[in-house]
């Protein structure tokens, strides 16, 4: 339960910084003033930003690696010698794995 409460407070601490980045067409001086007031009123350090970015990037990294591994497994499945009765099914399965792996890798990595 302690991890859940820590992650929620981390999300709440970083939320105002994320909101300032989402607003379009703000002048640089306004952004600088807003960041200055945010940093003056909130405790924010390098460790907090690394934890937040790790939580955001880790699932994307795992998904991208998993999709790439699925693509490699599909190519290996095609390159392995097949018996006479399983040739067509193997190519259909490998094609599905390749398309699915490419979709997963692109969706999670980008």
Question: SS3 of 86, please?
Answer: helix
pLDDT of the residue at 8: 63
Does residue 89 lie within any of the structural domains?
yes
Does residue 51 lie within any of the structural domains?
no
- Whether residues 71 and 36 fall in one domain: no
Chain centroid offset of residue 70 CA: 17
Does residue 53 lie within any of the structural domains?
no
Q: What is the tens place of the pLDDT at every residue in 4-43?
A: 445 567 777 777 777 776 766 677 787 778 877 877 777 7
| Domain limits for position 7 | 1-44
DSSP 84: G
In terms of pTM, does the model score above 0.75? no
- Whether residues 110 and 63 fall in one domain: yes
- Whether residues 34 and 66 fall in one domain: no
- Whether residues 38 and 84 fall in one domain: no
Phi and psi for 27 in degrees, rounded to 5? -70, 160
- Whether residues 66 and 110 fall in one domain: yes
Does residue 77 lie within any of the structural domains?
yes
- Whether residues 63 and 106 fall in one domain: yes
Q: Pseudo-torsion of CA 90, 93, 98, 103, nearest 10°? A: 180
- Whether residues 37 and 69 fall in one domain: no
- Count of structural domains within the chain: 2
- Whether residues 63 and 40 fall in one domain: no
- Whether residues 78 and 105 fall in one domain: yes
Q: What is the tens place of the pLDDT at every residue in 74-97?
A: 999 888 887 767 778 888 888 999
Contact indicator for 71, 99 with CB cutoff of 8 Å: no
Average pLDDT over residues 47-68: 84
């Amino acid at each position: 339960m302690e991890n859940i409460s820590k992650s929620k407070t981390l999300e709440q601490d970083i939320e105002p910084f994320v909101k300032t980045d989402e607003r379009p067409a703000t002048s640089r001086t306004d952004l600088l003033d807003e960041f200055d007031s945010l940093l003056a009123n909130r405790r924010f350090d390098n460790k907090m930003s690394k934890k937040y970015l790790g939580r955001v990037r880790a699932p994307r990294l795992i998904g991208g690696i998993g999709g790439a591994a699925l693509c490699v497994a599909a190519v290996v499945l095609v390159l392995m010698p097949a018996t006479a009765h399983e040739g067509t099914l193997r190519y259909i399965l490998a094609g599905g794995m390749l398309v699915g792996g490419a979709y997963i890798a692109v969706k999670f990595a980008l």
